[in-house]
Amino acid sequence: MEGPAQPVRSAARPDGGQGAGHPERAGPVTRSAYRAEGRAIGERCLAALRDAGAEQVDADILQPASVLLDLYGEDIRGRAYVTADPLRGEQMLRPDFTVPIVRRHMENGAEPARYTYLGAVFRQQDFDESRATESLQVGYELFDRDTPSADAEVFATIAGLLGDAPLRAATGDIGILRAAVLGLNTTERRKAALLRHLWRPRRFRQLLDRFGGRSPVPAARAALLEQADPMADLPPVMGLRSESEIAIRVAALKEDAAADPISTTELDLIDALLALSETCPNVLVALRDLSVDLPAIGAAVDGLSARLDALGARGVDVDALPFEGSYGRTSMEYYDGFVFGFYAESRPDLPPVATGGRYDALTAVLGGGTGVPAVGGVIRPEVLAELEAGA
């Protein structure tokens, strides 16, 4: 980077006033006013990132769904706008910029590389009609093999652009939880199931309790496993699974039933990891203690320590920076390491003002097995505009 990106604040508020609590604040602010001011904030962020050395890139609004959609995870797959093109096949309105930019970089990019972008992303809203289906994002993506330094650069850059906006920072590390699961003394099949459901905390908990013997085997499954030959009286196959697929599934259920439960000690360690919620230095001490009994997380904990050193070198007050063991588990499923976000505590109704994280595995998928360490973050300038308006 040529220098730190400078804070970018609203030059004029959409309501003409001076923010929350201003006695001369005008009447109701329209969504279009936030959109216009958000665009202005986004343009200033984009210019600051360009000036700091990032290359401005774009991504087509229509993206190949058959190639990219599965990379987003269950939540985004269910909310993407997908259409069929007679020549190009299934297409989708881009739900984010990161995946298409990673695809572009893995095809012809060199490293280290820094990219910035500004544009709309599109996601259906299932529960809140007031949430926009089209929203503006300005982002920063960094491809660099010095992962602690890169994590710190992206976090500090996003924080710097947000300036003194009244926001609460949150951080976590999906990589530590992944390492903990991979280190469990249980079957590979169970580990794979737990990893698939890291992003669905309730389902993850159900599986963990079942694999640890804390909850009973479902009655239908128990009845099936009690049969001498579960395939003997199989009715004509009417569903999506073939007879061979059903046989494979039955064999997997039998293997799981025969496996020893995950030990209470290991279950307690996972629970302790997920329950962590403290400042980063205190969490680091707690994780060092946990790694004595769960050595598989040792390398990931060392990575956290190196990241904190890099953040401190960039002026981040790591002594006050929060860390949550479960943070990031409901965000993008391609995140596999450091994750962070910035939230308006005074406006819990608003979505995160900014989010980001590390996605090394995504680059390997789009690179045909050859990955590059990468991390990025986005700011939602329309949300920042609404917050600054004091609405």
Binding-site residues for L-histidine sit at 96-98, 123, 137, 141, 329, 334-335
Q: Other CB atoms closer than 10 Å to residue 87's CB: what's the count? A: 4
How many helices (H) and strands (E) in the chain? 15, 12
Q: Supply 359's token pair.
A: 């996605």
Q: How far is CA 74 from CA 79, 256, 297, in A?
A: 9, 25, 27
The partner residues of 93 in beta bridges, in order of sequence, read 62
**Cα–Cα nearest to 381, from 11, 18, 35:** 35
Residue pair 358/338 in contact (Cβ under 8 Å)? The answer is: yes
Q: Supply 127's token pair.
A: 């529960």
Q: Supply 88's token pair.
A: 């190009």
- In the annotated binding site, the residues are 96-98, 123, 137, 141, 329, 334-335
Cα–Cα distance, 256 to 252 (Å, whole number): 6
DSSP letter at 182?
H
Residue pair 34/14 in contact (Cβ under 8 Å)? The answer is: yes
The amino acid occupying position 34 is: Y
Considering only CA atoms, give the Rg of the chain.
23
